[in-house]
Every structure is written in structure tokens, then in C-alpha cells.
Amino acid sequence: MRSLFQILFFGVAFAFNSLAEEGDASKIPPAALTEIDFVRDIQPIFSASCYSCHGEDKQENDLRWDTKSSALKGGTSGLAIVPGKSGESRMIHLVAGLEKNLVMPKKGERLTAEQIGLLRAWIDQGANWPEEVALPKTKDKADWWSFKPATRPELPKVENKKWARNELDLFILAKLQEQKLAPSPEADRRTLIRRLSFDLIGLVPSPEEVEKLVNDKNPKAYENLVDRLLASPRYGERWARHWLDVVHFGETHGYDKDKPRLNAWPYRDYVIRSLNNDKPYSRFVEEQLAGDVLFPDESDGIVALGFIAAGPWDFVGHAELPIEKTDGLIARYNDRDDMVMTTMSTFQSLTVHCARCHNHKFDPIPQKEYYSLQAVFAGVDRADREFDSDKETRHRRRELKNEKSALELKLAALAPEKSPANGYHSGIEKIPDYTKWVQVDLGESRKIDEIRLIPARPVDFPDTPGFGFPLRFRVEMSDEPEFKSGKVLADFSGSDFANPGDVGVSIRVPDGSAGVPPASSKSVLTHDVLERATNSQAGRLRSDESRSFRFIRVTATKLWKRTHDYVFALAELQIFSGGKNIALHAKVSALDSIEAGLWSKQNLVDGFSSRAKLANIREPAKSGFESESPEISKITNRLAEIQAKLNSLPPPQTVYAATADFTPNGNFIPAKIPRPVHLLARGDVKQPRELMVPTGITAVSGPDAKFQISNLNDEGSRRAALAKWITDRKNMLTRRSIVNRVWQYHFGRGIVETANDFGHMGASPSHPELLDWLAFWFLENGESLKKLHRLIVTSATYRQSSAHNPEFAKVDSDSRFLWRMNRTRLDAETIHDSMLLISGKLDLTMGGPSAQQFGFKDDHSPVYDYTQFDVDSAAGRRRSIYRFGVRSAPDPLMDSLDCPDASILTPKRNVSMTSLQALAVLNDPFVLKQCEHFATRVATAGKLEKQIEEAYQLALNRKPTAEEMKRLVPFAQKFGMTNVARMIFNTSEFMFVD
């Protein structure tokens, strides 16, 4: 009971909010005049008003009010409580509204004067917070079906056992009986073969195949058909499309510069090949996460890593922004977020990425574990990666590269000043007329006698002498780093300069020849500035002018063509004064620079050119290079031999995949060791907290979430640990996830409707016992996807008719419990491919580069124009799985038919029925062309009645009825068979299964 005095006090103080002036502490309600009990008086206030933003799940400003230690420590803005001094405690100021535009709590009702008085009294009395006080009981996030251990259920006891064709039917039947429902009769064979063909291979069956099944007296005729379809190479093409949806595979980067990925297609072919070969699912998973580590002798171990690189990639954030800048760092964290999201959504059906800014709101996934998963991918990026399909070549290349790496490390240890560096490399441009510069700071003004430009011949371009040497350039000297004033020593920007190859370019300063080491005519080409003054714009410096400067700059005004782009590169910039190279180890700056691998600004003045490692090429001592020791010479000779042997091997293939070793592109450079990944307070890169190490998710029952990684600098070991955790036989969530996906694609909905979210915000399973039974069955049957398909499609459940039953619909209107087979609309690819098959124009060639069914313009932001494509070309006849997928510009026909955006994960496609679809299927150029070919194909049947009958058999697998024939013959006579074909393609019977 409160005293009368307290009641009067709080009544008077209640209006303080309207009277208090901002910052006026005297207007804060006074402390309550009673002894405060923390549990009774304070904890309820914290629980009601503070925990939502400063509790277990979320800690804004890095502050928690649900634990004593955190609350008394304060947050990023300092102490919130000063025990004994409530008037100086920031918490009181915030709840009282004394800080401009910042009142706590942010959400919900403001604290009353009484509540603030209680808080003040508690603080003034020493902020007593008993250690033994427990938090109020909250819902246990781990108390959810997907986080509980899976157990293999017993087969249910049911009536009418004769209906069941295999064990899974018993679970369906038990649920139907529980709901007082009954299964539907079996569909006819014509319906079943169409259902199976669309389902397993994504193509309409031929009239001959339909007739064969309908008339087959073999009691195993249906099962034989299933086996034949599963053995078809078309099966892998069909089901690979489902997988590519799940992992949001695309062949462009997305974002604002949606550049093409011309080497993404090998991953698509890998998925098709793996499914056709019925690769065990765990092997399939492990290859896609760490195949290069776990299966180094297999080319699929590299190609499969296209999984990690399947999603969108921010070209600007990686190539144009350095990681040191905030936006560049955000781009790197975003990239790893996509890798984590794709991995965990695909293989675990968990929304782990929701814990990026705070602990997961609904599932038992702390923020710390999210960033631990980011640490798994801290050493890889998305880029082109080489691989060899031939086993012998693959082994030989790996042996040579391993030996090369070991020798380069040894060389660096023996002669660190002669590290195998290439030199300086500018950023990469798409046009040659782009100005780039690099300059050397001598520290003070020094007398200059000669400048030598040593061309690059990098180890990765061993057959390219004069790599990056500019076509046009000038050399300047100044005492100001900005070169606002100074002297032009030589100007070769008026016309193209002949590439010097392996010969250095020497530019002598007038009267500066004394004491300069003579240049060999074979190694250095001398350009006397005064001698060239009358023939070019060189020679700005007169002999009587000062030759002392601090900064030397080389400016390229026309870049060297590399492949399809342009660069500026030099191995060395030497500056001689009194016979000594004073540029050695000087400070270097540049407009831009690739700082990765063997390229760096400082490598421009390290006294060593990578050409010294190439066969029969040595930098002469007179050019400023010291003689090599016998051991160094032996290593460099062997390195040259290795490079020659590598060059003699058949050229490798390329796949766009996860890699830690790739050609730098601007600021996009490989990580030598895994990058540091910090837990980010509120997901903010400006608020890094503790450094993270790779772990799994502790809430996933079964496998140990603590990874055993002996060498954290080995990025591959990180991915391998995650792969093994996911495929651990005790991790039944992995098996629950995949069997649910397969079930969904067969029935139109999963046992769990939210295939990517098995958490609290996802759906509960309609048949939980069946889900676990299937997971264990799958594991015990070698994780064979084909066996799982066969189990499902040979079941009585799958063979049911889709006929409507009004009485059953009152109980289960959308047939969630499967009292009938669900009707589904054909997806975009099946419609597209079946049209080609029916018209007789489908090209069944498998694999290879994707068909670019658009006009392409490689601009600053690429342009993809579908109106420029010839739909009747060879590329237009490929199966849709081989269609080049553009993120920013989807194919209009496929887009209208609900083909998903490749920038997002699509565990289940939307199925819509719109007028736009009808218009597209009526008028799209591709459809119209197939209608023409369809009409030509059936023309050989003879008179119109026979042509119409043939068209029906090809597209609908039946003969037209008498009424249909009566209407279609005059229609065909008036409008032609092309329009009959057009009408058939627009019927619901063609567009829907069943």
C-alpha cells in the first residue's frame, strides 16, 4: 500500500511533462519517498518499457537492461546510471525528456511521473540490484519442432490398408481418417503420363508414349515409365531448374551495373550432371561448399563452388570502392551475408540472416552465431576460377602450382628485397584514352641525372613483354606533390610510342650523364631529351635550368590494351643521381593502383622486376640490379622452368565461382588470408565488436556447432568444417529440408509450406510424422534423390485424381491433407520447352555456354534488349535451362509467366493468372513463331480434320471431341492452322497439369 503522502505527491507531479522545459533538471519529478524493492518496483518497469530495445534479443546502443552487469556498465554513449545520484544519471534525463529529440522509451507510452520517481529513488538508494534476481520467464525459442531432435516414427495403423502402395501412403491415410476424409480414386493413365512427364522431365509426352502406356497390360507399366523418365537426361535439366531457383542463380551481377557473367554456366551444367548421376545429397552439398578442399582430385570440386557465387554481386561496391571506405566495407559484409543466407536457407531452411543486426527475433539464433557463419566465408570472393576437366592435366597443374608457390615463398625469405613482384598496375578501364599517373617522392629535392622506365613482364603474362607500357605518356618533375608547377622532362603524348618489350626506356637529363651507369643497348633504350626536342614535344628542360626536384611523375595519356580492357603498368621506375638509384624504396603514390598479389605501388621501386624469373631474361647489374646469389639464381631458373611447363599444358576452363585467387580488378583484390569478421553492433560496420571465428548454429540439434579448425588462416578449412557440419548424419534438419523441397515440387506445396523457413515465422508441418519418416528413409537409402522421387510418384497419394469433392472441400478446401491431387499450372520453362517440342523445333543439345536471347550492348551499365533477338535462330531453340539469365532485364514472356527474379531466393514460385499472361501467350514473337512451325508440322497429316486431330494429340494428348471438331474446322478454314495452334496453346488444358 502506498502512503497518502505518496499518492498526493505523484498526483501533483503527474503533469511535469507539459511543464518541464528541455534541459531543466529541476522539473524532473522528485524521487519517491519509500524504500525501493528492485523486483517489486523496478523490474516491471524495465520489462514493460525497456526490454524490447535493450533486452536479450536486441541491444540498441549496446545497452541491456535485463542483466545487472550490462546495465551498470552502460552502452556506447557511456554510463546510464550513477548510483546515488539520480539527477546525474542519463537514464533519468532520457525518460524525463530532457534531451532534444530523444525520449525513452522510443516505442509505446512514456513513463509516468510515478514510474520516474521510483527509478530516481532506486538510483538514489544505491541502485540495489540483487545478484540472484532472475529474468521473467519468456517463451523458449528452442521449443519448436524444427529445433527438436528428429525421431523415426512408427508407421501409423490405418483402415483400408489396401489403398496404400507404399509406406508414405499410410501417413497420408492416417491424417485423412483423422479429418474424416478419404482419398480420391486413381487418375487415368493418360492423366498420369502427362503428370509424370511434366513433373520429372518438364516436357509434354508424345502421342506414341501416351498410347504405349494406355495399352500396356504389364502390371508394372507405370513403374517402368517412372524408371524411364528418371533415367532420361531431361530429368536433370528439369530438376536443375528447381535448384537454380532456390540458390538464385543468375548470369549477370545485378545491382546498378548488371554486367554479364560469361563463365557462370559450368555450375548450371554441374547441377544437371549431378542430378542425372544421382549423386548422394551429402556429396552434392559438400562439393558446393568446399569441393576444392574435400575433393581436390575432382574438377566438380571447383565447378560446384558456383553455388557460393550464384547470387548477385555489387560491382561498384567491390571494384570501384576500396574496403577501407565505409561503403566498400558494407559491400563486403553484404556479399558474405548473401553467402550465409543462401547456404543456411538452402541446406537448413533457416532464416539465419535475420540475426544480422540483433539476435533473431523469433528463432534461437544469436547475432554472434550469424557473424560466426560470415567468418566461414571471410577468405573467398566471387570471380572467374580456372579448372581442368582432364584428370591428368589437373594433377600436373596442381603439382606445378604447389611447387611454384613453395619456391616463391623461399625466394621471398632469401631475398625479401627481391620479392617476385610484378610492379605497379593501374586500375582497369574500358577505353584507352584515360589518364593515369604514378609518382615517386624522393623525400627532398634531389639532383636528377637520368630516369629509367623498366617495362613489366608479369609471371601471369609470361609471353607478354612490355605489359602495360603506355602508348602515350609524359615524364614530369616538380617540388609539389600536386604538380601545380614543375618541368616536363619528356613528352611522348603526341603520337604512339613503340612498345619497348623487354627493353627499358632511359630518359637522360641534359648535362646529367656524368656518373650514370652506362645502359646496355640490349637492355635500355636511351632517349636524350635535347636530341629529340626538334622532332617531338620532348625537351621542355633547358640545360641551364635546375635539375633538382623531389617528385617524379609518369603520366599515361593513352593506355595499353590488355585483352578487352586497358591498363598502365611498369615493373620499375629508376631515378639516378650521381650513379645511384635514389628511387629505391622511396614513397610511391598514384591516381589509382591494384594492390593485390604481385602488384603494388611500392613494387615499382623495390629494385626487382619479375622478369628476372623468366627464362633467358635477366636485369643487368648496370641497370641497378645486384648480382644474384647461386641459390637465388637456382630458384629463379626453376621458376622459369615451371612457368614454361604450365604454359605448355592445355588451356584450363573457367567457371564463375567462389575463389581466393583471382585477377585483381580495381579495388577488388583477393584476400591473402581470411579477412577479419567482427560482430557488428546493430549491423553497423562503424561499430565493430569482437572478432569472430567460424561456428555452426547451436540450436540445430545433433551435430556439434563448435568447428574444429586447426589453422584459421586456411580459408578452405573453414568452408570444409561448415560442409561437414551440415552433412553430419546427426543433422536431420538437412534431410528434413531437402525431402520437403522434393515433396513440394511434386504436390505443389510442401509438408512445410515455407520451404526456406522452418522457424517460428514459418508454417508448421501438415504431416510432421511423415516429414521425419521421409528424412530418415532418405538417409537410410543413400540420400538418393531419384529413389525419393520414385517413392513419391509411385505412391497412391501421387496417383490420385484431381477431381473436386464438394463435401471434402468444406473440411479441407485447398487439399492440404491431400484427399485429391492438387492441380498446378505449368511453369514458364515447361510452357516454353513444350511449345518448342510440339512445334518440332526443340534443340536437345545439352550443356555449354548459355543462349543469349537478347541484343547486348556493353556499356557503363550494360543494355539487354530482347526486341533485337531472332526468336527463330538456333539460340531460340535451346531448352530454357540453357537460357542466359539476366537479373535486371528479365525475358518478357518468361517474366509474365512468373519466372522468378534471380536476385532473390525463390524456394517456391508465385503462380498467378493475369490478363498479361494471356496477351503474352497470344502475341509474343516466340509463341507466334512456334505456332507457325506447329501448323507446318501437322500439315503433313492431310485434310483439316486430320491436322486438327494431330495438333490435339501433340499438345493435349487426346483427340478432339465431336463438338470441338465441329467448331474448329470452320475456324481453321477461315483463319488457318497457325491460329488453331495459337488457340490450343492458350487453353487451360495445355497450361495446367490435370
Cβ atoms within 10 Å of 427's Cβ, excluding its own: 19
Backbone angles phi, psi at 575, to 5 degrees: -125, 115
pLDDT at 39: 78
Nearest partner of 506 among 495, 521, 496, 494, judged by Cα = 521
pLDDT at 139: 67
pTM greater than the 0.85 cutoff: no
> For the chain, how big is the Rg over CA atoms in Å?
36
Torsion angle (degrees, nearest 10) of CA 857, 862, 866, 871:
60
**Residue segments in the chain with a per-residue pLDDT below the cut of 50:** 1-23, 417-419, 512-524, 528-544, 611-627
pLDDT at 975: 97
User: What span, in angstroms and rounded, lies between the C-alpha atoms of 516 and 499?
Assistant: 24
pLDDT at 132: 58
DSSP secondary structure code for residue 518 in this structure? P
Do 601 and 424 meet the contact criterion of CB atoms below 8 Å apart? yes
How many degrees, rounded to 5, is the angle at CA 186 between CA 824 and CA 212? 90
Nearest partner of 573 among 455, 432, 709, judged by Cα = 455
3-state secondary structure of 568: coil
pLDDT at 76: 75
Cβ atoms within 10 Å of 208's Cβ, excluding its own: 8
Do 94 and 120 meet the contact criterion of CB atoms below 8 Å apart? no
Q: How far is CA 590 from CA 58, 568, 703, 760, 870, in A?
A: 44, 11, 51, 53, 47
User: What span, in angstroms and rounded, lies between the C-alpha atoms of 619 and 721?
Assistant: 46
pLDDT tens, position by position, 962-980: 999 999 999 999 999 999 9
Region for 30 from its dihedrals, namely left if φ exceeds 0, alpha if ψ lies in -120 to 50, beta otherwise = beta
Helices (H) and strands (E) in the chain, counts: 33, 22
Burial of 430 (0-12, 13-18, 19+ CB in 10 A): exposed
pLDDT at 421: 66
Amino acid at 5: F
How many Cα atoms sit within 13 Å of 724 on the Cβ side? 17
3-state secondary structure of 197: helix
User: What span, in angstroms and rounded, lies between the C-alpha atoms of 361 and 588?
Assistant: 50
User: What span, in angstroms and rounded, lies between the C-alpha atoms of 735 and 771?
Assistant: 9
The beta strand positions in 78-119, using DSSP E, are none
Do 109 and 724 meet the contact criterion of CB atoms below 8 Å apart? no
Do strands 824-825 and 688-691 pair parallel, antiparallel, or not at all (unpaired)?
unpaired
DSSP secondary structure code for residue 32 in this structure? P
Q: What is the largest CA-CA distance in the chain?
A: 112
pLDDT at 980: 97
Do 290 and 707 meet the contact criterion of CB atoms below 8 Å apart? no
User: What span, in angstroms and rounded, lies between the C-alpha atoms of 796 and 145?
Assistant: 28
User: What span, in angstroms and rounded, lies between the C-alpha atoms of 300 and 736?
Assistant: 26
- For cell 465441329, what's the residue? 966
